[in-house]
Amino acid sequence: MAKKSIFILAACLLLAQQDSPTAQFNTQGITPPAGSNPSPAKMTFFVTSIGMGKGGDLGGLAGADAHCQALAAAVGAGSHTWHAYLSTQARPGQPAINARDRIGTGPWFNWSFAQLGAPQNAVISANLAELHGDTLVQAQRGSNLFKQSTRNEHGQLINGVGDTPPIQHEILTGSKWDGRAYDDNADHTCNNWTSSTIGSAQVGHSDRIGNGSSWNSSNATKGCSQAALESTGGAGLFYCFAIN
Amino acid sequence: MVSGTVMLACSLLFAQVQRPGEYPRGVKPSPMMNFFVTSEPIGDGGNLGGLAGADAHCQTLAAAVGAGNRTWHAYLSTQARPGKPAVNARDRIGTGPWYNFKGEMIAQDLAHLHGDTMELAHQGNNLNKLTGLTEKGQIVPGLYDYSDPRDNDWSYAKNTRFSTRHEMLTGTRTDGTAFTDAQDHTCDNWTSNASPASGRDGDLNASDGRLNAQIGFPDRNGGGSGSWNSAHGTRGCAQEDLPKTHGIGLFYCFATN
């Protein structure tokens, strides 16, 4: 049986090779811009490499911000002040908070190394208007977040549609496409990021694939548990931006 | 029997692995296919023989994969000339919905395709790296797929289908209409293969007046926005100019019926 499996695998590899490009993932062509000195310390944007493990319960905005800060510090980018890109909805005595109002003014840079072959700090977006598509033309052009630029704090890509599972492209935002909080009565924020059971969170797609191509507001999760997030291609990851 | 088993096992093992540029094995285009990216350029840079030449290229490629029963148009605009009004790409492609090689919906209608309202523009259409397929079912190689410095060299790119080639000629603004300024954005309405004078190749917005073509990305990766139809211009209109920014002169084809 084992022998047969090996045979099949070998045959598969042979078949696959018949149609393979000669140069795979040759990274020679990509070098940092002249005069730049890329480093993780210059990173001002990343997707969390891991969630907080409790679904939509992030310990509120404070807990999510602390997660961003801790992950950044672990890779030498802790000198910035980091905020999670998350909105919260209005409650009695508590006004709503818009994700877009929490992240400074840009421009924001990522950090990439692993799959580019050379270190880079690539521009994610120049300002809030480009990031959110504030004008119709900006919105039609699209946000400046691409699958290849939307990386975690280690510079790694986020598994998206078509990649090897688990797919983790559903990124928690709790936001409308303009980066603002919802003002209806439905839950879009797992009860302002405190619920790991009932409720729902609005998510965007880091690879911009699925129900259109929005990075910050494409669909709602089925629930707020970790399992519910994972059932639709999420992992409870979120975007972190440095405000300084 | 054995080879059948092997093929089955392979198809299961590699079900999710179709790398950019590769042909899907033993799969024909969906009968619903009324959208594709050309698998090959015409090969003379921005000179496509005008809209008629580009439409004929779409039709020929479609016919070669059994989809010649439809009427195919290239998604290209032309700019106004004395006595000739502009032609808008969005007015040439029917009303949708459009489906790709696999029968996946690219967009419901013209408004969805172009994002005519703020809501639609933010939602975006369904064109992406995995759906922006050629008439042969290939994913179009984009940035970092097999990064190679020779990707910028036509003499290399023309001999492989794996070089980065994700810039689609459109000559179009984000809303699918023709440019109205004095600059060229259509390689002189798809009749020019001119290369700019040396030293005039720095600005991708063509403010220096050179002939060039506006392009977009089916994989939504690059150009500062990932726009599918209007990201930036090219270095020039010669075939050799196009690979300098990772295009080879491919374009979108839509069936109007």
d(CA B89, CA B97): 16
Q: Kindly report the nearest CA distance between residue B119 and chain A, in angstroms.
A: 8
Q: What percent of chain A has pLDDT over 70?
A: 83
d(CA A81, CA A66): 10
Q: Kindly report the nearest CA distance between residue B143 and chain A, in angstroms.
A: 8
Chain B residues touching residue A149 (CB < 8 angstroms): 221
d(CA A131, CA A215): 9
Q: Which two tokens stand for residue B29?
A: 């285009």
d(CA A210, CA A216): 12
Listed residue (B35, B16, B24) closest to B218, CA to CA: B35
Chain A residues touching residue B123 (CB < 8 angstroms): 177, 211-214, 218
Q: What percent of chain B has pLDDT over 90?
A: 80
ipTM over 0.90: no
Check: CB of residue B165 under 8 Å from CB of residue B153.
Answer: no
The predicted structure's pLDDT at residue B105: 97
Chain A residues touching residue B144 (CB < 8 angstroms): 25, 30, 115-116, 148
Q: Kindly report the nearest CA distance between residue B217 and chain A, in angstroms.
A: 11
Q: Tell me phi and psi for residue B2, to 5 degrees.
A: -60, -45
Check: CB of residue B232 under 8 Å from CB of residue B204.
Answer: yes
The predicted structure's pLDDT at residue B253: 98
B251 burial level (CB within 10 Å; 0-12, 13-18, 19+) = buried
The predicted structure's pLDDT at residue B74: 98
Kindly state the greatest CA–CA separation across chain B.
Answer: 68
Contact B221 A148 (CB under 8 A): yes
Q: Which two tokens stand for residue B100?
A: 């790709």
The predicted structure's pLDDT at residue B148: 85
Check: CB of residue B186 under 8 Å from CB of residue B77.
Answer: yes
A238 burial level (CB within 10 Å; 0-12, 13-18, 19+) = buried
B3-58 residue pLDDT tens? 444 444 444 444 457 899 999 988 899 999 999 999 999 999 999 999 999 999 99
Other beta carbons less than 10 A from residue B27's beta carbon: 12
Which helix (H) or strand (E) is A235 found in, with range?
strand A234-242
Strands B215-216 and B167-169: antiparallel
Quote the DSSP letter at residue B167: E
Q: Flag the least confident range among B15-24, B146-155, B217-226, B242-251.
A: B15-24
Q: Is A35 helix (H, G, I), strand (E, B) or coil?
A: coil
A82-96 residue pLDDT tens? 999 999 999 999 999
Kindly state the greatest CA–CA separation across chain A.
Answer: 68
Whole-model pTM over 0.80? yes
Q: Which of B10, B21, B148 sits opposite A29 (nearest CB)?
A: B148
A191-244 residue pLDDT tens? 999 999 999 999 999 999 988 889 999 999 999 999 999 999 999 999 999 999
Q: Has residue A18 got a pLDDT over 50?
A: no
d(CA A175, CA A181): 5
Q: Which of A19, A136, A207 sits opposite B118 (nearest CB)?
A: A136
Average pLDDT, chain B: 91
Q: Which two tokens stand for residue A158?
A: 């986020």
Q: Which two tokens stand for residue B211?
A: 């002939």
Q: Describe chain B by its helix, strand, coil percentages, rounded to 5.
A: 20, 15, 65
Q: Is B246 helix (H, G, I), strand (E, B) or coil?
A: coil
Mean pLDDT, rounded, for B108-123: 96
